[in-house]
Structure 1
Amino acid sequence: MSILKLSNIHKSYADGNNRLNAVLKGLNLEVEEGDFISVKGPSGSGKTTLLSILGTLLPPDEGQYLLNGEDLTSTNADLYKIRNKLIGFVFQDHRLLPQYSALENILLPVLAYQSSVPQSFIDYAHYLMEMTQIEHVANQLPESLSGGESSRVAVCRALIMKPSVLLADEPTGQLDMENAQNIVSLLSEVNKVLNTTVIMVTHSDDMAKAAKRIVTLKNGILQ
């Protein structure tokens, strides 16, 4: 069953000389529930723009975006709620808040709609940390974590709301080869064990191979 569908997506940016630079040019993408897709493409091809549209951080100029059958390009769509509950994000730079422990960072999305964290979410956070083998750093601050541990905390935070789709933007870009392979293996495990749909942007051929399907962004469309 299709979980998301992009139809005829266009996106352009002003180049500073009163001209528009077209980045996405009628892009189409359909993703099945439980799929794991790698998006490849050269620098400047629009991979991050595509991921930003998928994450509802950036609206397309034209086209339609359906997620779980809901049209997210509609003016009636509650994008803040959708981002919090249906879409998980893993960024290249982790974006952990330094004043909070690893466990607290993982639980932050829960506080978007409530003033306290229910025990069920705390239990799920511990389950995710056990699954990702970072239970031992639960009470540590980000400054004391290794790059690989920080990446795993970021993955757990992205999963805490049990999202339909996990978006990963160059999640291995700042890691050495061993930790990079570990994170991609973790995303594969998340995809398999939790049946979470994963879309990963990467420039690495080796990392892309972990996905079930590889697509390439070239000349504004996916090939």
Structure 2
Amino acid sequence: MALLELSNIQKNFRDGENRINHVLRGVDLQVEAGDFVAIKGASGSGKTTLLSVLGTLLPPDSGSYRLAEKEVTASTVDLAVLRNQQIGFVFQDHRLMPQYTALENILLPVLAHKNHTNSDEEEYAKKLLQITQIEEIANQYPQTLSGGEASRVAVCRALIMKPLLLLADEPTGQLDRENAQNIAKLLSEVNKTLNTTILMVTHSDETSAAAKRVLTLKEGRLS
């Protein structure tokens, strides 16, 4: 069975003149555990909408979304728990909390879950810092980090709960070419080293080349 399965996912929005904009027009997708999938598409093609549906930030208007053989859209599913424990997010703008160090930012999902951390979780956070080669900035605050360092902290934070699925929304969008290449390579290494299933949306051919599979979102459908 696929780890993730979308069947005929549709999502519409109304514009200011009450006209319906059909953004997702029946998206079908299967992702196996351990896969690394990149989804490309032009600006406005619905990439972020699709990622928001996958991350349960937006409900689909119709269709089926199954994760680990469970129907995500079922009314009995606690979406907050699902997002915290099974789905990791890497956003384009990092969204690091300025009052916390890099290490503390990485541990925030743990604190959101149970209000404290233990030694095993702290050691795992340090392991992630080592894997991403930024252990020396563990005690620095976000305002002192480079764009590439902040991106790596964001990746570590997304991995701290050992999620089934890592979602990355234009993770290299605000980086220069060298740092963009480094983050794409890092995601590939995370996929291989931790066997983390990754789904990334990007407009960049160079970034998408790091994935095992590349799909295109066009006119509301994947191909």
Tell me the TM-score normalized by structure 1. 0.99
The aligned counterpart of 2:191 is: 191
The aligned counterpart of 2:45 is: 45
The runs of 5 or more residues in structure 2 that have no matched partner are none
The aligned counterpart of 2:146 is: 146
Corresponding position: 1:137 with 2:141: no
Report the Cα offset of residue 206 of structure 1: 1.0
Q: Following the alignment from structure 2 to structure 1, what is the Cα–Cα distance between the partners of residues 19 and 145?
A: 45
Report the Cα offset of residue 30 of structure 1: 0.4
The aligned counterpart of 1:94 is: 94
SS at match of 2:66: strand
Q: Following the alignment from structure 1 to structure 2, what is the Cα–Cα distance between the partners of residues 45 and 175?
A: 22
Corresponding position: 1:125 with 2:125: yes
The aligned counterpart of 2:85 is: 85
Deviations 1:81-118 (A, max 9, x none): 00000000000000000000000000000011212111
Tell me the TM-score normalized by structure 2. 0.99
Number of equivalences: 223
SS at match of 2:74: coil
The runs of 5 or more residues in structure 1 that have no matched partner are none
Higher mean displacement: 14-23 or 124-133: 14-23
SS at match of 2:114: coil
- For residue 191 of structure 1, what is the amino acid of its counterpart? N
Report the Cα offset of residue 18 of structure 1: 1.6
TM superposition outliers: structure 1 runs of 4+ over 2 Å: none
Q: Give the percent of matched residue pairs that are identical in Structure 1 and Structure 2.
A: 65
The aligned counterpart of 1:203 is: 203
Matches within 5 A, 1:175-186: 175-186=175-186
- For residue 20 of structure 1, what is the amino acid of its counterpart? I
- For residue 7 of structure 1, what is the amino acid of its counterpart? S
RMSD across aligned positions (CA): 0.6
